[in-house]
Structure 1
Amino acid sequence: MDGLLASCWTTAGDTGPHRADQRSPWPLRTRVEAAAAAGFTGFGLLYEDLLTAADDLGMPGIRALLDDNGMTNLELEMLHGWWADGTERQESDLRRRTLLTAAEALNARHIKVGPDLANRPWDMDHWAAEFATLSAQAADAGTRIAFEFLPWTNIHCLDLAASLIQAAGAPAGGLMVDIWHTERTHTPLSAIAALPPHHITAVELNDGSATLVGTHFEDTVRRRRPCGEGAFDVSGFIKAVRATGWTGPWGVEILSDELRRMPVAEAATTAYASAAKALA
């Protein structure tokens, strides 16, 4: 096992994807030190928090902070609109350039990218070509791309996401396999175990209720639980991922109202302890 990685939301505090301002109220140093104290050796950083930290510390300062706290795996997120054109593409390209530049400067392991949140019609060939281009740019920056399917979007299941990765054929592009989304889409564990190892860029652990509560989006960003505190087959998921030959870090992504209310040190410790127990 190549350690545990605290996703950006696990240490972000009182914020989230459902907020207009997604920036963490906690300084980056506080978050990184809390994650390290809990046992994490990887750290996730949101684009908006990256900009703040770059202004405060500069890229060398961020790199030194991560190194000093034993963070050997860095995850950057999130990029949407990489397939688009017009104004949407212009805005996405600005974010793309910043993320790729940061990934190279900070030696990031991967960058998370997502599907179309508006769930518009899409063309597989176009998306595969754009994903291949993005992945090639990532390789030039010394990093990889992790594509995460989301149940309420155009690429809503593992089968579609895996088909995109296969069609793109990009060595530096693969999947983000998050147990939350595989459970919510009733993905067979056999489908996860059958994934080619080179098609997986990142993996995430968490837990949740047996059934959806509210909308997919609301449930996703407000009701995740630490591993072992819900109804997910966390053990089965871990075994399925290991069956692919996975040896990379295990991300821990817990977005919940409860975790947001915790002091950052408590949130990091809770997340780490639950995932470490599940992996053991």
Structure 2
Amino acid sequence: MDTEDELLATCWTTAGAADPAGADQRSPLGLRERAEAASAAGFTGFGLVHADLLVAEREHGLAGIRSIFEDNGLAHIELEALAGWWADGPRRAASDTVRHDLLRAAEALGARHLKIHGDVEDGPLHFDVWAGEFAALAAEAESVGARVGIEFLPWSNIRTVHDALRLVEAAGHPAGGVLIDVWHTERAHTPPAELADVPLSRIVGVELNDADSMVVGSLFEDTVRRRRLCGEGSFDLPGVIAALRTAGWRGPWGVEILSDAHRKLPVREAAEVAYRTAAAALA
């Protein structure tokens, strides 16, 4: 790992037995315990999902959350995840509630970016409408000092990094970009070398992880239940990392581990092994 590389523990990496596939995604662990575990492992960034943000705000207030991060040297803050930002009606109303919470917290916490994604029900992508909505969201993020990164998902209507880039470029806002998760590039069969051509100005974040070559169950089931630690699966992590370094990316590198096995680990052990294996992959 280069001396300047920094690692960000994305929300699920320290969430313990939280259920990312369930209606209630809250972690059973307190924010302070998670932040201290991430810091002790070596992370300098931290991610929070919306459900945990609300719990932490009730317990500590936004100023208290910021103090916890500062006390633990967690400077790179990521908030997630927003869906339905393109919609109308009740779906948009629900999305706008989450949007308000994330933007308000981003400003108070000095978050570097918000994660969003497309329609996981694989609904139609009305390109011009979506580009306009993305530009508006990026402008709102910029107004609170953050950026917005769209995470392409192979089972959604924005499946690949190329799909995401087309939308981002059409929106044309400098605060908008893509969130590149290695799991999604590998499962979408994107050659790692193609990531070298992603404009650095459009890379909002990167996430490292690994998995077996064979998908078990649906893509969604596989991604939330069977990810592996970096270097313990079949992904071409050296190729991906080399390509992203060629693109100019220098971090922070997110580490996103979701698996049944990882959720069973004590949080300090979970954070330590996630950090150590990702750092080895970057070496």
TM bucket, shorter chain: over 0.9
**Cα distance in 2 for residues equivalent to 1:102 and 1:191:** 34
The match for 2:49 is 46
From 221, 233, 238, the equivalent of 2:236 is: 233
From 271, 277, 280, the equivalent of 2:274 is: 271
Instruction: Flag structure 1 segments of 5+ consecutive residues without an equivalent.
Output: none
**Cα distance in 1 for residues equivalent to 2:125 and 2:206:** 26
**Cα distance in 2 for residues equivalent to 1:142 and 1:200:** 16
**Cα distance in 2 for residues equivalent to 1:16 and 1:40:** 23
**Cα distance in 2 for residues equivalent to 1:20 and 1:100:** 22
Q: Deviations over 1:222-265 (max 9, x none)?
A: 00011010111111110011111112200000000000000000
Cα distance, 1:2 vs structure 2: 4.2
Which amino acid in structure 2 is aligned with residue 77 of structure 1? E
**Cα distance in 2 for residues equivalent to 1:59 and 1:203:** 26
The match for 2:186 is 183
1:21 aligns with 2:24: yes
After TM superposition, list the pairs within 5 Å mapping 1:89-168 onto structure 2.
89-168=92-171
1:84 aligns with 2:87: yes
Which amino acid in structure 1 is aligned with residue 253 of structure 2? W
Decide which moves more: 8-17 or 33-42: 8-17
| TM, length-normalised to structure 2 | 0.98
Cα distance, 1:12 vs structure 2: 0.3
Cα distance, 1:114 vs structure 2: 0.7
Task: Check the 8 A contact 1:16/1:255 in 2, yes or no.
Answer: no
- SS at 1:231 equivalent: coil
- SS at 2:121 equivalent: coil
**Cα distance in 2 for residues equivalent to 1:6 and 1:263:** 15
Which amino acid in structure 2 is aligned with residue 222 of structure 1? R
Instruction: Flag structure 2 segments of 5+ consecutive residues without an equivalent.
Output: none
Cα distance, 1:16 vs structure 2: 2.8
Aligned residues: 280
Task: Check the 8 A contact 2:193/2:239 in 1, yes or no.
Answer: no
From 219, 223, 227, the equivalent of 1:220 is: 223
